[in-house]
Amino acid sequence: MSSTQLPADWPKLIAFLAGPIVFFVLITSISSSFISPSAGKVLALAGWIMVWWMTEAVPIAITALLPLVLFPLMGVMKMSEAAAPYANPIVFLFMGGFMIALGLEKHRLHERIALNLIKITGTSGNGIILGFMISTAFISMWISNTATAMMMLPIALSVINLLKSDASVPNEALPKGERNFAIGLLLTIGYASSIGGIGTIIGTPPNVVFAGLLDQFYHQKLDFGKWMLVGVPLMTLLLMGMYFIITSILFKNGIANVKGSDELIKSKLKELGALRKEEKLVMVIFATTCLLWIFQQPINILLKKEMLNDTNVAMLGGVLMFILPVDWKQMNFLLKWSDTEKMAWGILILFGGGLCLAQGLSNAGIIQAVGAKIADNSPSTNWLLFGLIAAAVFITELMSNVALVQIFLPVVFGIATNLGVNPILLGMPVTIGASMAFMFPVATPPNAIVFSSGHMRMQHMMKAGVWLNMISVLMIYLASVYLLPLVY
């Protein structure tokens, strides 16, 4: 190999080096009189973190540990102050949600729910797509959108294979109706996995980041039930819009009946067998947790004590998965600690890192300064809101939605403070917009998963995605103006 030949992964190497270079350039060029004495140090670290988060030059969870290491070294925070955000209650809320999701996945309850929902919606082309959409969105409200898409993909591919009039024909050579059905079904799974996540606080990581930052900046708690009063109607409208665009405008299939699909669903349900004891126990824990999340405030009022909150309800459900026995004699429980190897520990660290960085930006006065600048130059609150939503929807096509809200929300909160607006009215629409990535396979894992099936081209996803992006901006804006103020 020539000595001048670039490494195979040279873009990643450049991004890796760019992070610390940005840090040293900023820390040496920003005056200590700029905003506050610590502002230059915080901005320098924020620049480094943003470069690494956007490019994923190193694992995003490792990048999220940089504030814990460097803030104390630079004298921005004490170690105890820097470490506190990594143990924020929101981190434990998501941990409990992860544990409950592990129980659902391990005992295949989510698969049973999905198959039964698909069974109800019929065997026409559009009926099958509707069944997959509803089941995918519902499951994604409670477990990872990536896990949901991965679970639904093999079932969808089995249905597509049943439909093929000639199994030897390549996908692109299939009759138009069959090809459109395959594209429409797979896009629906990818998109519904993302849309479903906006229905609950734990449905997708950006929601949890928003809840954590809101508590950190304003000491306001997001109520699980109130979130659903906004999230579920908006989720339903977005799903309806998506279904109409895919089945009636872009990818009409005209298939009256998919032969063998009913038998396929029945055979998969038969393979699962009768409802097992483990599934019944998981179902009881899952249902109890959901009910406590939704009705925690009435229960607290009834007991005349602030006993329940989102975090301890989530952790109660998670702990029960480990201590509720399936078999006393064998000391066999629903979950074992080894099952947590599948848990996304990196996401929990990412939350902590984002909260710590936001605290540093706030302490240095940077967020307040940026917020004041934008607020002073904004033509009106409604136009500002529309612009923020559109920015979140289209920027998330190019970077991680979690990284986007970690970086963007503190600025949005600064704007809200300077305008004297309830931060939820600006922050929640931006957070929801960050989950609306529909145009590119790289935008979000569910898109990449369905694209990998080989049944579609980039142009198919882009054509549907740009429509959905625009509809998302409009629907989120309308919900923010007319529904959100009624709830918050």
CB distance 192 to 136 below 8 Å: yes
- Which pair of structure tokens corresponds to residue 58? 């190193």
Looking at residue 350, its pLDDT comes to 78
Helix (H, G, I), strand (E, B) or coil at 471: helix
169-180: pLDDT as tens digits: 566 666 788 888
Span 302-327, pLDDT tens digits: 888 878 877 888 899 899 999 988 88
* Token reading at 424: 């939820």
pLDDT of residue 428: 94
Residue, of 278 and 111, whose pLDDT is higher: 278
pLDDT at 7 over 80: no
Which residue has better confidence, 317 or 33?
Answer: 317
Q: Which amino acid is at 83?
A: A
pLDDT digits (tens, 9 = 90+) for 362-390: 788 776 676 667 666 666 788 888 988 98
**Spatial separation of the C-alpha atoms in residues 364 and 184, rounded to whole Å:** 49
What percent of the chain has a predicted confidence (pLDDT) above 70?
91
Write the pLDDT tens digit of every residue in 419-474.
Answer: 888 999 999 999 999 889 888 776 777 887 788 777 888 788 888 999 999 999 99
In this structure, are residues 145 and 277 in contact, taking their beta carbons and an 8 Å threshold? no
Q: What is the mean pLDDT of the chain?
A: 83
pLDDT for res 1:
45
Sketch the domain layout of the chain as residue ranges. Answer: 90-342
CB-based contact 359:216 (threshold 8 Å): yes
Across 55-64, 215-224, 255-264, 476-485, the highest mean pLDDT is recorded for 476-485
pLDDT of residue 145: 79
Please name the residues in contact with 31: beta carbons below 8 A apart, sequence gap of 6 or more.
40
Percent of the chain with pLDDT over 90: 24
Which pLDDT value is given to residue 163? 66
Binning pLDDT at 50, 70 and 90, where does residue 246 land? Answer: very high
Specify the pLDDT at position 85.
86
What is the torsion angle, in degrees rounded to the nearest 10, for the CA atoms of residue 266, residue 269, residue 270 and residue 271? 130
